Each structure stands twice: as C-alpha cells, then as structure tokens.
Structure 1
C-alpha cells in the first residue's frame, strides 16, 4: 500500500514502516559516529519504542554494545492498516541489532500489568541472568492499577486557578489563547498514580526479588522541568506533581538497592517533540521558539543526541555522576542557559500567527512531528508501494 500521513489533532493515524526504519538507522549511525561508550552491558528499557526510550535502547545497544530487552505497548499491523510507529521502530531495531551481533528482544503489552512484568522477568532469567541498567521511560496517559484494578487517567491541568496563555496549532501555525481549568484533587491523584514513581518502584522491586539485578545496577527515569513560561501547566501543574513523586521515588529506590550498591537517578531532559509533549498546550509554541535559538547557537539536540550525551558525558564517564541540588542529573543544561531563556521570554511576548515562521522554527517542529511517524525522511520513497505487515522478530 502507499502510506500517507493522516492527522487527527496531535496524533498521526498512520505510520510508515520504511520511514521508521530510516529513523532507526539514522539514530544508530549517529551513536556509532560518536564512538563506543564503556557502559552497561545488559539493559532493560521500559517504554522502549519511541522518543527517549528508543534513543536509550539505541544508545545502549550501539554505544555500549549492550544486550537489550525493550518493553512497550504498540499496535501491530493489520491488513491495510499500519502498525503504530513504535512497532516498526522496534522491528527495525531488532533487525539492525541482529546484524551487529547484538542480543535484542522485545515484550509488547501493558508495562503497568503484573502479567507483562512476569513475562519480562522470565525472559531476563532465561536469556540474560541479571540486568545492570534499567531505563524507565513510560509516557502513557492511562494506567490500570495492577492491585486495585482501577483505571486511572492523567490530566494536563494547572493547580489552584485557571491557566491562560498563548499556544500554537502546529498544523496551521495559528497562535491563539488557550485556557485550561484548574485541577481538582482527583485529577492530581490520578495523574500521580499514572505518571509518578509507583510503577517504577514496582519494576525494581520485582527484579530485585528474583535476583535479576547485578551488583552496582543503575536505574534512570526521565523527567522535565522547563522554564517559568510553562510551569503553571507543567511543573506546577498535575504533571509536575507526578514528576515530584517520580523524583522522590528515586531516593526510595536507591535506599532499597543499598545492599546491591545500586542507584536510582532521575534525568531531567530537554523539551523535545514527542507524542506526549505535542499534547500539552503551550509546549509546541515554546519548543518552536526554543528550536530556533538552539539551532542558531549550534546546541540543538533531538532525542538521540540527548541520550547519547547523557550516557557519554554523565552516566558512564567512570567518575561520580554530577547531580543538581535536588539530586537530579541535568541534561537540560543547554536549554536552560540564561541567554536562551531570556531570548525566549522576549520572543514569547512578540509571537503571533503572522511572525511565528520568522521568529520560531515551526517548520522544524512539524518536521520532527512527522518524523515520529516515519514521514519526511530523506532517502525514503513515499510514493512506493510498501507492505504494512512488518513483524517484530522476537514477538
């Protein structure tokens, strides 16, 4: 079939298998170009199929020469219906890893569930023995709690009062005002249950209970802080409460891993175009302004550049990992430079529908968004007839 992007809001309903394959190959080539990293050798990535999780799997495999197990929840293809992009990404990752002589297997299902945890533990036990790095990169809007059976839904809301500010429809370029009603306590509690640290801790406890963690094992979860412009709807909103919980959980996990000399970290990453971030009002406008400035300064990074730098310059240097005053790894340091943030604050006040294409990088935002679904890559013939029926080899 000939596959074209079909949009609905901030979601693309189709994905291109050859484009996703090219995306994975491009990321692999970038990591290889930066040279080997003396890092973890047996890695579990929870949330491994897109964005930072995929970049972590690629950096582990092709930077550290590691065996990887990826856990994700992706839709496989059906006849005349494409798979979700993470399915095609993972299929390509496994193929490329096998070519390179690297172990790579995947588990597809709800990572919050006891069933998928059990399946993953059994695979580790059978194939790898013990894990020395666990990346936690889930970005699900809902969570069926494995103990209570209650379905919790997260929300993107400010706390205390209605939030009103600028946003942009990145499809049309229209800059408008958006208002988001304040959260109630249920909104906060549900968001913390979905996006906080409880499930991360459950994974680590499950691994520890079955002696599947190597001595000195590290685990890293990803977070975001961002600027004052977005804090009302992000860091001081419902998501921020969840991130606070996630960050507090890191200390609890570290305490639980003392006998193994293990350590849990939260890495605060840069604002990037992901399926999750595209859904958050205000963020697309902020990112389009940020991209323009960071590209002009020569410090722009996508997911793969961020994670490769996290591994090479922070986590696997052979030295103590540098942390901020709250015990977090900061790889958002270039985004949060004073000069960058001061310029964004000025541009934010000026931004309109008419001038955004000049003062921001809306074209770059759109390109990155299309890339998420396998569209817009050089070297891919999008007019060619391709098969949507691609399988992940290990599934």
Structure 2
C-alpha cells in the first residue's frame, strides 16, 4: 500500500501526477451517462486507444449499451516515483466496470504501432474470441516508431502554404490569458512525418494483420475517429499539417472499404476537451467559446459514442456526408452556432476573456483529465497510487 496526498503540479495543460480516486470517479460518471442494457449477443470489439478521450468513451459505451467483449489497447506509464498516468487509473476502473456488467474485456498496455503488440493482441483475440466484429481506432500520439524501418516520425502542428496566426487560451496560476500565437509553415518533410504518425497507415496495418490471421468476422466493421472543426481553427487544424494526416485517414477508409469483407468509415466527432486537443493552439479558446454558446448543448464524447455504436450496430441508420464519413458533429457546425462562436472570438480580449469564454469550465475540464476537480473526491485524503494494471 502506497498512499499519499496528491496535488496537481505541472505547467500549462500538462500535469506531472494524476489522481487515482478522481480518475475512478470520472469512469463512474461516464458509465452513468449510458443507459445500460441486457445484451442479446456480445459482439467482439478491438479498441485501439481505449484509455482516454473518445476511445475511452467508445469502450464504455460499447460495454454498457451493447455488452461488447474484446480487447482495449493503450500505452500508459505505471506508478513509480510519480503516480501512474491518468489512463492507467481509468483503465483499471473500466476493467472493474466491464466485470460488473459481465463482459470479458482484456486490456493490453503496449505501443499500438509495434508489430509485436499486434501479434500479441491477435493471439489473444484468436484464443479468447475467434475473431472480431468491430475495430475502433482512436490513436492520438505525438510520435511513432515504424517497427519495419525503425524510423521515428514526429508530428508537427504547423500551417500549410502560408504562416498563420491564431488566438489561443493559456492560464497563469489558474487565471485565463489570451495570447496571439504565430503558426509556422510546415516543410514537406514535416507534413509527411505528421501523416506517418496521425494518418491511416497504422490503422491499415491493424486490418491487414487481422485479415492475414483470418480474424475478421462476417460483417466486420472498422472506424477511425477524426475531427474537422470550425473555420476558426482551420488554418492550424484542417488546412494544416494535422489536416493532411486526417485526409490520409479518410483515404485509408476508402481503400479499406474496397476489400472484400471490410466495412471501413471515418467518424467525425465534435469538439471536446482532451489531452490531445488541449495541446493545439486555438483549440482551447474555441472549445471554451463553444461551451459558452451551447452550454449543455455541447455533446459529450459519451453522447457521441452512444450515437456511434447505435449507427455501427444498425440500431439507427448511418448519418453520412457526401464523402461517406459518419457525422457526429453536426450540432457543432450549424450556421447559427458557428456565427455565435465567431462573434465571441472576434470580441475576445484579455480584459473580457473570462466573460466572453467559459474559461473556468475549460480549466476544470483540463484538470479533470488528470483526475482533479472531480466532485465527490476528497483531495485532502491520502490516495492509493499503486493500482495494478488489470489482468
């Protein structure tokens, strides 16, 4: 037993420790957002990136609503001198929930990009389930080592074609600070590396591996989660180096769907506060403005994940756009919502940022990513940090 009082220590949106009890409570709150059902069948799902953000929400929604069995893959740090990463504690809590609802769901802590990980996961799939019905791909990583060339690729958050500027939200001792951030132009090499990290190559390799092992069940469906976003964030996101990677992801979906026995889509999710998105200039300000406009109308990752599973299983028809993408973000991109956000974006200054944007909410959401500021948790009490990875 290793108990200690844990306080949020870090810089910007990055914290050095996470709170086990807070992370457990976050998972409990997510499960309470889903109307649990008694499953008639238990489809087998493989979720790549199951410990955080939309991948976590998709895992819990599948467990609660459709009784999925299967495997979740993520890459988290164990407790040592510091606490474990938040995803480590969230995974432990998710595994406990899976057990309570009767699902056989295994969690693998390993680099999803590695061929050895793929081999181990597929061995387990074959042994325990004989195949897979759904593959959810939700990976947000800053770098990737290609196991076949041993090349390390580093993603870049840069503009394409011409430099850009954006407003961005930061915090100084919890107080909001409005910044003007310059966005450099990406080189061709930086764009290519970003595509190598965040594009569809690794997603395709997972499907290749499953196909080679004859583990695709009839009707196999796979979806990679993506984002389009607003014109306000376009220069740094959709029209930038990240956007090039997202375009490659969408092209990969079309390629995969051309194969016999594979149904592949990208799912366009709406804006949310995640560890990945909070690192991108402009996104924090945009999301805080969006929440100011929509309030509870801002759909959570869990609400969107429930809709995704309903569409994937055929309970509801697929909501597709002209490019064949599943759209879970229509609530965000309506003309009236975007006009209201743009007005606030243009109005925002350092003097009025706390009133124009929902900065308190955003700051608390970032802290909750690490298990802090969660209602019902006593942060003055010692917490057990040596939580075991579920086996």
Bin of the TM-score, shorter chain as denominator length: over 0.9
CA contact (8 A) 2:270 2:332 kept: yes
Runs of 4+ in 1 over 4 A off after TM superposition: 35-40
CA distance in 1 between counterparts of 2:317 and 2:177 reads: 46
Give the conservation status (yes or no) of the 8 Å contact 1:61–1:67: yes
Partner Cα distance (1:83, 1:305) in 2: 28
How far the C-alpha of 1:102 sits from its partner, in A, is: 1.4
Aligned twin of 2:73: 71
Question: 1:22 pairs with 3, 20, 25, which one?
Answer: 25
Give the secondary-structure state (helix, strand or coil) at the position aligned to 1:173.
strand
Q: Does 1:341 align with 2:343?
A: no
**Alignment TM-score, normalising by the size of structure 2:** 0.96
Assess, with a 3 A threshold, how the Cα gap between structure 1 residues 392 and 32 changes in structure 2: closer, same or farther. farther
The residue that corresponds to 1:174 in the other structure is: 177
CA apart distance, 1:319: 5.3
Aligned CA distance change for structure 1 residues 319 and 165 (closer, same or farther; 3 Å): closer
Q: How do residues 277-292 of structure 1 correspond to structure 2 at under 5 angstroms? A: 277-292=277-292
Q: Shift of residue 172 of structure 1?
A: 3.2
Structure 1 unaligned spans of 5+: none
Q: 2:323 matched to which residue of 1?
A: 326
TM-score (normalizing by structure 1): 0.95
Question: Judging changes above 3 Å, is the alpha-carbon distance between structure 1 residues 168 and 142 closer, same or farther for their aligned structure 2 residues?
Answer: same
| In 2, Cα distance between equivalents of 1:201 and 1:189 | 17
Matches within 5 A, 1:1-395: 1-32=4-35, 41-78=43-80, 80-170=81-171, 171-256=174-259, 258=260, 260=261, 262-295=262-295, 298-312=296-310, 314-318=311-315, 320-394=317-391
1:268 shift after superposition:
0.5
Q: How far does residue 8 in structure 1 lie from its aligned partner after superposition?
A: 2.2
Cα separation, 1, equivalents of 2:283 and 2:380: 33
Structure-2 separation of matches of 1:307 and 1:291: 19
Q: Residues 216-266 of structure 1: CA distance to partner in whole angstroms, max 9, x if unpaired?
A: 01101011111111111100000000000000100111112x2x2x30010
Shift of 1:175: 0.7
5+ residue gaps, structure 2, are none
Work out the CA distance in 1 between the residues paired with 2:360 and 2:305.
24
Provide the C-alpha distance between the structure 1 equivalents of 2:314 and 2:121, rounded to a whole number of angstroms: 29
1:316 Cα deviation after fit: 2.9
Query: 1:287 and 1:44 mapped to 2: Cα distance?
Result: 29
Deviations 1:101-134 (A, max 9, x none): 2112111111000011111001101111111010
User: Relative to structure 1, is the Cα distance of residues 194 and 22 closer, same or farther in structure 2, using a 3 angstrom cutoff?
Assistant: same
Let me know the Cα RMSD of the aligned residues: 1.5
* CA spacing shift, 1:353–1:40, aligned 2, 3 Å: farther
Give the length in aligned residue pairs: 386
